[in-house]
Structure 1
């Protein structure tokens, strides 16, 4: 695979890399499915069963299987190559989504069948984000340009999770919620097939010789820990924003605007981070971004009104995309050749696991603990994760791995 290193790294230079625009556009089309599917499943199951408890359980099954099996699915891609693995995986995932849509098209669906379909679909969800980031590392040789590629990827992903629900909302104007699940299936299958047709995608990796086997995932403590802490802080802050609005008797319709401020801040932070020619190592930057995120989220609990809180959330957002982008970049640096997709998948799993755990803990604390203390605890999750990075930077041993790159554990 040839690489390209322009003299002056920029976002425009990223898109001028051979095959980059075609590959990135098709990957984003497929990844848009993840921006539409969650809301579609939630609305469809709620409509079909009339129960928020059932819809919550189905979403939990779907999310858990998506997150916790992602490293295994990524291992298959590292071993056999995305061209062999992603098409059948996307077809199976899309078929299961269609089955879920059929079950929820009309009321009266059995909850057990809904849970089974959602769990099986989540188990097959293609890890397109980690795969695209691994492809970026194949396409781009220059470190400065690779940082910009990761920054562009992170901001685009943020926008997908904003535009996805809006697309579902527009669809609901003339179709039932289950149609959003069908749209998600169409996006993932069509986008994935376009993605794997790109000449930029690498082929399967040969297994490493026995004497060189180390698992390819040494020392991922830092990026995974920080990603998990950031997920806890982010999901906790989002739930606490809604609780703040209710407690201060503001109109609940204002909550999306506060969330939009968070997303806007993240987009700005991601673009700025990608454009800066950093001289400090990625590990040091990661620790600094996580500390900043934790401090701002903790201080947000002191906001006297909703508008101050919105400003604090916008400032917190400035640290979110740089934190996650740098975590992915550091994971790519640490991964051996042929393990890039798995490395990114572990960071992705950390973010999502932290997000689920943060929402669960915040939900349990709201009403029992003052909101200011809840914000402090949410921020502390990112702050403590940053301190963990600092302690391990001084000479922690690599994570022991004995499996070969193409062996699943």
Structure 2
């Protein structure tokens, strides 16, 4: 069997009924998250004259994002139309208060707790919009590419707003984008959909499903390896006397991810998920291992751009695999857990790398990250991996029993 086939065009995806009227506002709302970290950082720093407090505020907002899966569970149960506007308006109000008053960390935490799960909700919409067609993988690829682009362009837009107006104005812009994008998105007919819940409920939701647990473990380990790369890039730039160049190299990783997502979405992939994921993680591993031999920043940028080609496809494959192992009433929440696993793995990798870079060289960091990713790739691609990894159009081995326990 061929590993790939024609997947239709991106125009086919956007031509689906209600696709544009749902996706464009969703991107507008999700752009707010691209603006938020830097605008919040500098708003709090200006208010308190302390980068320590500003860093704590950003970290607190990120920590409260752990509540995102439970908000997604409300979306699955009661629909986007009923849940997302309440969250968006409340979160935006808290951000406006932060921008216009003396910073209160409790207010920052409240904003994080109320932040709407726009990305997982849009992926839920894609599932509905592509139902009965072969376009879901391409829709997910388009979504991942656009999200990556937002997080590339968001900091640039914040830089312009801070330079021309102020950091509080940039934070207010983030709040406005969140409200406008969310309210416009929920006018789409697909956002009124709800999924029938089971008669008995699990506090942990889809986390009790073994297939999803394994996907999350792989994503967390992969995210840890990717975060090693980002910190080591900064280390190389600093030791080269050009710390600002780290931003260009990191942008190259993002650009590579965009290209990779576009290329991945051009084909309909038919091999098992564990084969695809193992191969993509191996590309990242090869990139980090090669980077451990490179000292020139230009060459490092090219190497990391090539490795970044695998980033967006990894998330596309993971979201599709999560759809396979979870029942319809838990898929928005499952998608959110993938993002949460990524954030936790990234935080762990950053913390560990930050400690080790004080005692060793960035080359050793790249080497360690590459070895970690290589081990993950081997573990995922090994023949026994097919026993627990979700099959295309089917379930993972223990999946049916897990579903009955819901």
Fold in common (TM above 0.5)? yes
Counterpart Cα distance in 1 of 2:142 and 2:223: 20
1:133 paired residue number: 123
Relative to structure 1, the CA distance from residue 8 to residue 267 in structure 2 (aligned partners, 3 Å threshold; closer, same or farther) is closer
**Cα distance, 1:402 vs structure 2:** 8.2
Residue 330 (structure 1) aligned with residue 321 (structure 2): yes
Task: Find the partner of 2:189 among 188, 199, 224.
Answer: 199
Q: Distance in 2 between matches of 1:8 and 1:315?
A: 24
SS in 2 for 1:252: coil
Gaps of 5+ in 2: 1-5, 389-396
Q: What pairs up with 1:149-168 in 2 under 5 angstroms?
A: 149-168=139-158
Change (3 A) 1:202 1:338: farther
TM-score, normalised relative to structure 2: 0.89
Determine whether 1:69 maps to 2:70: no
With over 3 angstroms needed to count, the CA separation of the structure-2 counterparts of 1:58 and 1:334, relative to structure 1, is same
Offset at residue 31 of structure 1 (A): 0.2
Is 1:383 aligned to 2:367, yes or no? Answer: no
Following superposition of structure 1 onto structure 2, how do residues 2-401 of structure 1 map, counting pairs within 5 Å? Answer: 9-66=8-65, 68-104=66-102, 109=103, 113=104, 115-142=105-132, 144-209=134-199, 215=205, 218=209, 219-249=211-241, 251-390=242-381, 392-395=385-388, 397-398=398-399
After superposition, give the CA deviation of every residue in 1:351-379 in whole Å (9 maximum; x if it has no partner). Answer: 11122222211111112022222112223
Q: In structure 2, how many angstroms separate the alpha carbons of the residues matched to 1:352 and 1:320? A: 14
Q: Measure, in 1, the Cα distance between the counterparts of 2:91 and 2:278.
A: 36
Separation in 2 of the partners of 1:61 and 1:388? 34
Distance 1:403 1:175 in 2: 54
Q: How much does 1:383 deviate?
A: 3.2
Q: Give, in angstroms, the shift of residue 91 of structure 1.
A: 1.0
1:201-226 Cα offsets, whole Å, 9 max, x none, are 24233333459999556210233123
Q: Give RMSD over aligned pairs.
A: 2.4
Q: How many residues align?
A: 388
Q: Contact 1:216–1:338 (CA<8 Å) still a contact in 2?
A: no
Supply the distance in 2 between the matched residues of 1:179 and 1:12 (Cα, whole angstroms): 36
Deviations 1:269-312 (A, max 9, x none): 00011112222122321121112212312321111311111111
TM-score by length of 1: 0.89
Cα distance in 1, alignment partners of residues 107 and 368 from structure 2: 36
| Contact 2:43 2:167 survives alignment (8 Å) | yes
Matches of 2:149 and 2:87, distance apart in 1:
25
Partner Cα distance (1:193, 1:213) in 2: 29
SS in 1 for 2:43: helix
CA-CA distance at 1:27 after TM superposition = 0.4
Specify whether residues 401 and 380 from structure 1 end up closer, same or farther in structure 2 by C-alpha distance, changes over 3 A only: farther
Cα pair 1:26 1:195 within 8 Å, conserved? yes
Post-superposition Cα deviations, 1:301-333, rounded to whole Å, max 9, x if no partner, equal 111311111111101110111111111111112
Q: Tell me the alpha carbon deviations over residues 85-129 of structure 1, each in whole angstroms, 9 at most, x when there is no partner.
A: 10101111111111111235xxxx5xxx2x211111111111111
Give 1:339 shift. Answer: 1.2
Distance 1:325 1:243 in 2: 30
- Displacement of 1:175 in angstroms is 1.7
Q: Following the alignment from structure 1 to structure 2, what is the Cα–Cα distance between the partners of residues 212 and 254?
A: 48
Q: What is the alpha-carbon distance in structure 2 between the residues aligned to residue 222 and residue 257 of structure 1?
A: 34
Structure 1 364/346 Cα, relative in aligned 2: closer, same or farther at 3 Å? same
Give the distance between the partners of 1:25 and 1:307, measured in 2 at CA.
35
Q: Report the CA distance shift for 1:48/1:8 in structure 2 as closer, same or farther (over 3 A).
A: closer
Q: Distance in 1 between matches of 2:192 and 2:203?
A: 21
Q: Distance in 2 between matches of 1:9 and 1:206?
A: 31
Aligned-partner SS, 2:164:
coil
* Matches of 1:348 and 1:397, distance apart in 2: 23
